[in-house]
């Protein structure tokens, strides 16, 4: 008998194709021993870099979002029971919001709310910065630590740089592995913007009280139905399938489908909506195995779904999340849409959440019980 280690993650998570590449294992491991594991290739699971240096502590196995070891602990902490009765997790409050800052609105994905809250927290010195993802191209982002307003604007959705997008060796993905940014130890108080799989991993680390998760002051969670990956072949197929050129994409957004806005004269730009069901071959395989749409373990969750254009749907979940939300509303940083339809928003969120849960259930067969994979329950390997 032995404690399961990274080798077991390779066998149980990487080999079946369900590694979400959240980077949590790499982030923790690098904080105790440098370069034991790491990412060698974009859009591939992490690998052993120096296997002989592995301390066999097993923490990487414990915190991986695909082993679900800590589900019960987290569910207690975050007032959640199971996906069948609570597909949206615990909701303290739900709103449709927009920033009052024209620049954050202009560069924002939806209502510019996430960046406005981060900027507020930085200006009030409640955090030193935030781990966000900077846009590099239409389907390409990289994780950075934003330390001020300018960094946040530079990282925002619509600014595309001139990275040669059709370079044959370049790969594109809408998912960014951001947790390894936690290696920047000089920052002691950070906000983390992340997808449900990333926030889950941080919450596991916090629940075990392990470094470097104590540096995360607040988790700002994005809704996430799925993420996409493009290599050269897929880029060509996508261009043919949807009759567009990658280089002509000005911005993308994801709500209940993929929304692609093409470059063109202001006001007359073409917008294409592509349903998720037509995007199966571009989806990261790991997303098949993921049941959380609305980021149930975040302090505050954000998404476009349920709100009108240029507004963000906001769900407050924890005491800390609620306090911050109240402050940004009270100080006029963001505004709540008058007479928003709370039930209408919830219905849309439940519908997409249930569709995501169903997809995960059919991927795992009947092994997914209450959001937990029944086969992967033990941290001990019998040998």
Ligand X SMILES: Cc1cc2nc3c(=O)[nH]c(=O)nc-3n(C[C@H](O)[C@H](O)[C@H](O)COP(=O)(O)OP(=O)(O)OC[C@H]3O[C@@H](n4cnc5c(N)ncnc54)[C@H](O)[C@@H]3O)c2cc1C
Out of 46, 58, 108, 371, the only residue in the binding site for ligand X (CB under 6 A) is: 108
Distance CA 380, CA 316 (A): 36
DSSP 8-state assignment for residue 208: H
Instruction: Pick out residues in 37-56 that bind ligand SF4 (CB under 6 A).
Output: 37, 45-46, 54-56
The interface partner of residue 19, options being ligand SF4, ligand X, none and the CB cut-off 5 to 8 Å by kind, is ligand SF4
Q: Report if residue 24 touches ligand SF4, rule: CB under 6 A.
A: yes
The interface partner of residue 286, options being ligand SF4, ligand X, none and the CB cut-off 5 to 8 Å by kind, is ligand SF4
Q: Report if residue 33 touches ligand SF4, rule: CB under 6 A.
A: yes
Q: Decide the pairing of beta strands 249-254 and 257-262.
A: antiparallel
Best CA proximity match to 219, nearest among 314, 157, 313, 130: 130
* Residue number, 122 or 179, with CB nearest to ligand SF4: 179
Q: How many CB atoms lie within 10 A of CB 358?
A: 11
Rounded (5°) CA angle 365-177-213: 95
Instruction: Pick out residues in 198-217 that bind ligand SF4 (CB under 6 A).
Output: 201
Distance CA 193, CA 298 (A): 9
- Least distance in Å: CB of 336 to ligand SF4? 27
* Residue number, 105 or 204, with CB nearest to ligand SF4: 204
DSSP codes of every residue in 26-72: HHHHHHHSTTSEE--STTS--EES-GGG-----HHHHH-TTT-TTHH
* Residue number, 46 or 111, with CB nearest to ligand SF4: 46
Distance CA 106, CA 315 (A): 22
Out of 12, 66, 191, 306, the only residue in the binding site for ligand SF4 (CB under 6 A) is: 66
- Least distance in Å: CB of 178 to ligand X? 5
* CA 20 from centroid of its chain's CA atoms: 10
* Residue number, 61 or 223, with CB nearest to ligand X: 223
Out of 87, 303, 321, 371, the only residue in the binding site for ligand X (CB under 6 A) is: 303
CA within 13 Å, CB half, 177:
22
DSSP 8-state assignment for residue 246: G
* The three-state (H, E, C) secondary structure of 260-305, written as one string: EEECCCCCCCCEEEEEHHHCHHHECHHHHHCCCCCCCCCCEEEECC
Q: Report if residue 357 touches ligand X, rule: CB under 6 A.
A: no
Q: Report if residue 371 touches ligand SF4, rule: CB under 6 A.
A: no
Instruction: Pick out residues in 224-263 that bind ligand X (CB under 6 A).
Output: 224-225, 227, 253-255
Contact residues for ligand X, defined by CB under 6 A: 104, 108-115, 132-133, 141, 152, 155-157, 174-176, 178, 193-195, 222-225, 227, 253-255, 302-305, 312
Contact positions vs ligand SF4 (CB under 6 A): 5-6, 9, 13, 19-25, 28-29, 33, 36-37, 45-46, 54-60, 64-66, 175, 195-197, 201, 224, 226-227, 284, 286-287, 290
């Amino acid at each position: 008998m032995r404690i399961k280690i990274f080798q077991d993650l390779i066998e149980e998570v990487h080999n079946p194709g369900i590694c979400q590449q959240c980077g949590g294992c790499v982030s923790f491991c690098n904080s105790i021993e440098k370069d034991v594991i790491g990412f060698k290739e974009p859009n591939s699971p992490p690998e052993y870099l120096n296997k002989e240096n592995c301390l066999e502590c097993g923490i990487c196995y414990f915190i991986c979002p695909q082993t679900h070891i800590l589900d019960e602990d987290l569910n207690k902490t975050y007032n959640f029971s199971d996906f069948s009765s609570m597909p949206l997790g615990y909701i303290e409050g739900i709103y449709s919001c927009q920033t009052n800052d024209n620049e954050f609105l202009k560069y924002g994905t939806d209502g510019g709310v996430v960046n406005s809250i981060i900027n507020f927290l930085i200006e009030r010195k409640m955090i030193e910065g935030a781990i966000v993802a900077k846009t590099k191209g239409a389907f390409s982002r990289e994780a950075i630590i934003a330390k001020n307003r300018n960094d946040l604007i530079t990282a925002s959705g619509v600014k595309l740089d001139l990275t040669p997008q059709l370079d044959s060796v370049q790969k594109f993905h809408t998912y960014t592995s951001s947790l390894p940014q936690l290696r920047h130890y000089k920052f002691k108080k950070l906000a983390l913007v992340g997808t449900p799989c990333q926030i889950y991993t941080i919450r596991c680390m916090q629940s075990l009280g392990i470094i470097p998760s104590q540096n995360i002051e607040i988790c700002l969670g994005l809704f996430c139905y799925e993420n996409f990956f493009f290599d050269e072949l897929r880029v060509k197929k996508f261009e043919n399938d949807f009759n567009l050129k990658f280089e002509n994409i000005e911005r993308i957004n994801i709500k209940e489908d993929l929304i692609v806005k093409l470059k063109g004269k202001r006001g007359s730009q073409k917008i294409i909506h592509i349903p998720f069901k037509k995007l199966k071959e571009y989806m990261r395989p790991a997303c098949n195995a993921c049941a959380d749409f609305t980021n149930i373990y975040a302090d505050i969750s954000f998404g476009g779904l349920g709100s009108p254009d240029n507004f963000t749907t906001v769900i407050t979940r924890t005491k800390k999340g609620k306090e911050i939300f109240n402050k940004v509303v009270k100080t006029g940083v963001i505004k709540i849409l008058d007479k928003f339809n709370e039930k209408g928003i919830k219905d849309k969120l439940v519908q997409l959440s249930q569709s995501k849960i169903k997809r995960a259930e059919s991927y795992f067969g009947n092994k997914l019980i209450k959001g937990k994979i029944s086969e992967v329950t033990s941290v001990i390997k019998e040998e």
